[in-house]
Amino acid sequence: MRKLFWLLGALLVLQACGTKKRTFASSDKAQSKKQRNTSGYPMPEDSGKFVVYDINSVEEYIETFADVAKLEMKAYGIPASITLAQGILESGFGKGELTQKTNNHFGIKCHTGWDGEYAFHDDDSKGECFRKYNHPMYSFRDHSIFLSSRSRYASLFRLRRDDYKGWARGLRAAGYATDRKYPQKLIGFIERYQLYKFDREVLREGYAVAPPSKEYEYKLYVVQKGDTLYSISRRYFVPVEELMELNDMQSSHLSIGQELKIKTEKLR
């Protein structure tokens, strides 16, 4: 049901945002093919081109991505206000150099096990590896997976979904950013642009403040020609790192016919 909900919501959001984007052809054919064909929801642009939104203000950024942030809150429990504030800060409201060349709105680095496309960019150190996406919506989804799948952020998900101050401080404490003023900057954006109203909208629609308990089951997936750990992680909404750990893998190399154990949410 979650995938169906995301699919319907994503299509509506894209229709609303369609007039704000401009398309650039990607020179990386491998990236185009991988991002277009292996997602758990349809690639917004089926042309395989690199799509970046032409956004000129913070207000326009919020208007463009508010519904996406709300959908992510419903699916993963991360306050929409936090997602939007991080996006504004990390991407320079979509105008930052890194975001323009990678669609990476949250400054997420490659990390061990990342099997997707990437680009090098000077950050804390020179030439650091950052994740790259064909479309901004992949960045928003990866941000949700990144936070919800790592144990160091687990304490955040015990907070109220409308406690944006607790989330802002918790992100800094968990090591998301090295900037000591990171929480104040997020809170500043949330309060200046009243981003907390999006959290309230989600909660008014019947989504509990405390995350619902989930039950999981395991299935076997047989690797097919063209599969990568990245594509499989997108298909089943699980991080690459979790797939490697669950299957005792030391590298991301796959063989056709190889069986992988996959953890999926149990349908009720």
Number of domains composing the chain: 2
Phi/psi of residue 123, each to 5°?
-135, -115
Q: Nearest-CA neighbor of 49 among 130, 116, 103, 126? A: 103
Domain limit, last residue, from 168, 184, 204: 204
Question: Could you give the CA distance from residue 268 to residue 265 in angstroms, rounded to a whole number?
Answer: 9
Cβ within 8 Å of residue 8, ≥6 positions away: none
Q: Minimal CA–CA distance to 90: which of 61, 53, 47?
A: 61
Name the band, by pLDDT with cuts 50, 70 and 90, for residue 43. very low
Q: Which residue has the tokens 């989804």?
A: 141
Count Cβ atoms below 10 Å from residue 107 Cβ, excluding itself. 23
Q: What is the pLDDT of residue 215?
A: 65
Residue 187, in any domain of the structure: yes
129 and 238 part of one domain: no
d(CA 53, CA 190) in angstroms, rounded, equals 22
Average pLDDT of every residue of the chain: 79
Residue 99 banded pLDDT, cuts 50, 70, 90: very high
Q: What is the pLDDT of residue 116?
A: 80
Cα angle, residue 137 at apex, residues 30 and 63 outer, rounded to 5°? 145
DSSP letter, residue 53: E
CATH number at residue 250: 3.10.350.10
Identify the pLDDT of residue 35: 34
221 and 198 in a common domain: no
Domain assignment present for 209: no
Asked which of 159, 184, 204 is the last residue of a domain, the reply is 204
By CB neighbour count within 10 A (0-12 exposed, 13-18 middle, 19+ buried), where does 4 fall? Answer: exposed
Mean pLDDT of 80-91: 97
Residues 137 and 246 in one domain: no
CATH no. for residue 123?
A: 1.10.530.10
- Residue at 78 is within a domain: yes
**Does residue 10 lie within any of the structural domains?**
yes
Same domain, 170 and 234: no
Q: Tell me: the pLDDT tens digits for 158-209? A: 999 999 999 999 999 999 998 999 999 999 999 999 999 999 999 998 765 4
Q: What is the pTM of this model?
A: 0.64
Residue 42 domain flag: yes
Q: What percent of the chain has pLDDT over 70?
A: 75
**Which residue from 101, 31, 105 is spatially nearest to 61, judged by alpha carbons?**
105
For the chain, what's the residue count? 268
Same domain, residue pair 163 and 190: yes
Per-residue confidence band for 55, with pLDDT thresholds at 50, 70 and 90: very high
Same domain, yes or no: 128 and 177:
yes
**Is 143 inside any structural domain?**
yes
Q: Which domain holds residue 221?
A: 216-265
50 with 155, same domain? yes
Separation between Cα atoms, residue 12 and residue 30, nearest integer Å: 28
Domain shared by 197 and 223, yes or no = no
The answer to whether residue 210 is domain-embedded is: no
Residue 72 sits in the same domain as residue 149: yes
Residue 238 and residue 154 share a domain: no
Closest CA to 78 of 141, 135, 8, 16: 141
Contact of 180 with 218, CB cutoff 8 Å: no
Distance CA 133, CA 118 (A): 8
Q: Are strands 128-131 and 216-222 parallel, antiparallel or unpaired?
A: unpaired
In a domain, 104, yes or no: yes
Q: Does one domain contain both 63 and 87?
A: yes
176 and 224 both lie in a single domain: no
